[in-house]
A and B are shown apart, each in its own frame.
Chain A
Amino acid sequence: MNNIFVICEVDEGKIADVSLELMTKGRSLASQLKCKLEALVIGHKLNGVENELYTYGADKVWVADDARLEFYTTLPYTSIAVKLFQEEKPQIALLGATTYGRDLGPRVSSALISGLTADCTSLEIGGHEDKKENKNYKDLLYQIRPAFGGNIVATIINPDNRPQMATVREGVMKKEIFDANHKGELVKLDVAKYTSATDFVVKIIDRHMEKSKVNIKNASIIIAGGYGVGSKENFNMLYDLAHLIGAEVGASRAAVDAGYAGHERQIGQTGVTVRPKLYIACGISGQIQHIAGMQESAMIISINNDPAAPINSIADYVITGNLEDVIPKMVKYYKKNSK
């Protein structure tokens, strides 16, 4: 009772990376709180899915397996999570901030009247003193996230309602096997008991999934463009350099909003979090929203015509100048001097 739950998403028969990242985080929070870590997996053909979760530290794995649950739909998944949480009363429940988690999380939290914080960039445990009510709280989940377009960082708590729920984007937490020999307990849920026929009113008519062509998450070098790049055409400079040095092109939210680059390239709190060995920021001012998604890059080069751009303060190298001048120079040198 009062354990930590991770609602695990299944992607082509496997537990999604974002869920394993949350298991890793959940494991360390559970150890700190001296409680158990449990996983809830909903889907179809889930035989053996628990084994991988054990190695990530799951003490108990709850599985709801039914042909009607093969693809995610809101209502039956909600019913299962809500009913299980009412019985098990977790203190914390974590979900990936994916289209799945951001559809399911609010529905579950509304049904349980529990708080939910979206897109957390950090989760910590700490106390809280409510001076007005003269109450002291121990061991709350600090849900930390940038807000207001990334100009502030807020720490959110849910003092009284349980579970304390949070979503986290893929790539924000690190994924690490806890113990290859760790074993837990498997519990298979009777889906008929946890859902009702009316939960299955929404029908999936068609699904077209494709492997993502853009893979900025795993790129070792990223050239990212911001609003300062100026146009979609100017982004071609970045693609040229990227092609030459084997990099992937990323973009800030401002550049994506302006239509310079596609959503799949967005780096930052509301995009992808990356940790490449080299990050070249081109015309990116560096709102926290963006920084949150790239600050762990091993080396950061900032090219910006504003010497006071905030991103310069976390860069290893700062080049103050116009992209139109600097990037062709980089291309020229590389062409001449690499094998």
Chain B
Amino acid sequence: MKGLKIIVLAKQVPDTRNVGKDAMKADGTVNRAALPAIFNPEDLNALEQALRLKDKFPGSTVTLLTMGPGRAAEIIREGLYRGADNGYLLTDRAFAGADTLATSYAISCAIRKIKDFDIIIAGRQAIDGDTAQVGPQVAEKLGIPQVTYAEDVLELKNKSVVIKRRLERGVETVECPMPCVITVNGSAPDCRPRNAKAVMKYKHSRTQTERQEASEDYINLVNERPYLNIAEWSVNDIESDINQLGLSGSPTKVKKIENVVFQAKEAKVISADDNGIDELMKELITNHTLG
């Protein structure tokens, strides 16, 4: 069979799992700038599934697509280092403030522009929002089927993919015709590490914006090696209805954000020595909380 054209949707996210004390500002709000920006973990699981398909079906290509600020080009480079073939950064102020629906719309417009694809693979959800909505909504916008909670892409049959899904209480194997969207669970295999050759090949890859201050030598290098160009698309590069993008294209609005303040209770402090623990256990047994 001929190679597959695979698009991997990836997002650069703040590492919300490691919110340290310095990540909170004096007023108690989250200082996003202080959080490291990382490749969304489940998008790495998605990339691995794409790379496995590429290994199995020589001639396949893996294309990364991300939407975000300019610095999100970092995760495209990261994907290239791990085995992807090329990438697109969708970046424009017009996309800012988008909820999951407006995000999905923008991404689906970019995919229509890329045009030629068999499978779109994304992580199940991103750790900054945990919504798991963008994958299915992209599928709906493109009018193609979706398979969520995928753990393994098992095989290709004719023009279908056979996929193992991880549900709450078991596993389900489904056969889905291509083209389709697959979202991958964190329980799927981890992504392979960077490949030293790929790092050498792509370490000078840059978007147009990143190249603005580049030397003439570097410009010449990119002209010689076009794969060093990371495609950067603004709203003008995709065909879209501006009213469906960004804040104005978002049906959901944030009415209020509250920082977390717990209603403090009067806690009884127990000393960690034998006496303290014995007293507590005695109380719990006496009042039938235990036993």
Contacts and interface: CB of A to CB of B under 8 A. Distances in A.
A313 interface: yes
Interface of A: 71, 73-75, 78, 98-99, 102-103, 105-107, 109-111, 113-119, 128, 142-143, 146-161, 201-212, 221, 245, 253-254, 257, 263, 269-270, 277-278, 286-288, 291, 299, 301-302, 310, 312-322, 325-326, 329-330, 333-334, 337-339
Tell me if A's interface is mostly helix, strand, loop or mixed. Answer: mixed
Contacts of B134: 106
B239 interface: no
A334 B290 contact: yes
Given A269-B130, A313-B265, 11 more contacts: A117-B252, A118-B129, A119-B130, A151-B24, A154-B257, A221-B290, A278-B290, A317-B267, A318-B269, A318-B270, A334-B291
B128 A149 contact: yes
B270 A319 contact: yes
Nearest to B105: A110
B16 A210 contact: no
Nearest to A277: B289
A107 B290 contact: no
Interface of B: 14, 16-17, 19, 24, 29-30, 99-101, 104, 127-137, 139-141, 145-149, 162, 165, 167-177, 187, 250-260, 262-265, 267-272, 274, 276-278, 280-282, 284-285, 289-291
A225 B57 CA distance: 43
A330 B254 contact: no
- Top 8 closest A-B pairs, CB basis? A149-B16, A321-B272, A115-B251, A115-B252, A209-B170, A161-B251, A110-B140, A106-B136
A16 B289 CA distance: 30
Given A149-B128, A208-B171, A111 B291 contact: no
A174 to B, nearest CB: 20
A110 B254 contact: no
Contacts of A204: 172-174
Which residue, A114, A118, A149, A288, has most C-beta atoms of chain B within 10 A? A149
A101 to B, nearest CB: 10
Contact of B133 (A116, A209, A287, A334): A116
Contacts of B14: 148
B99 A115 contact: yes
B31 to A, nearest CB: 10
A115 B254 CA distance: 12
B195 to A, nearest CB: 25
Contacts of A278: 284, 289-290
Contacts of B172: 71, 204, 206-208
A161 B244 CA distance: 13
B281 A330 contact: yes
Contacts of B256: 154-155
A313 B146 contact: no
Contacts of B280: 301, 317, 319
B255 A142 contact: yes
B255 A158 contact: no
Which residue, B128, B139, B171, B270, has most C-beta atoms of chain A within 10 A? B270
B140 A111 contact: yes
Contacts of A128: 255
Contact of A254 (B17, B145, B265, B271): B17
A118 B130 contact: yes
Contact of B174 (A149, A150, A151, A202): A202
Nearest to A207: B172
30 contacts: A75-B145, A98-B168, A102-B132, A106-B132, A106-B133, A106-B135, A107-B136, A107-B139, A117-B252, A148-B128, A149-B127, A150-B16, A157-B252, A157-B253, A160-B251, A201-B145, A202-B147, A204-B172, A206-B173, A208-B171, A208-B172, A245-B290, A263-B187, A288-B260, A302-B267, A312-B267, A319-B271, A329-B278, A334-B290, A338-B285
Given A119-B130, A153-B257, A109 B145 contact: no
A91 to B, nearest CB: 13
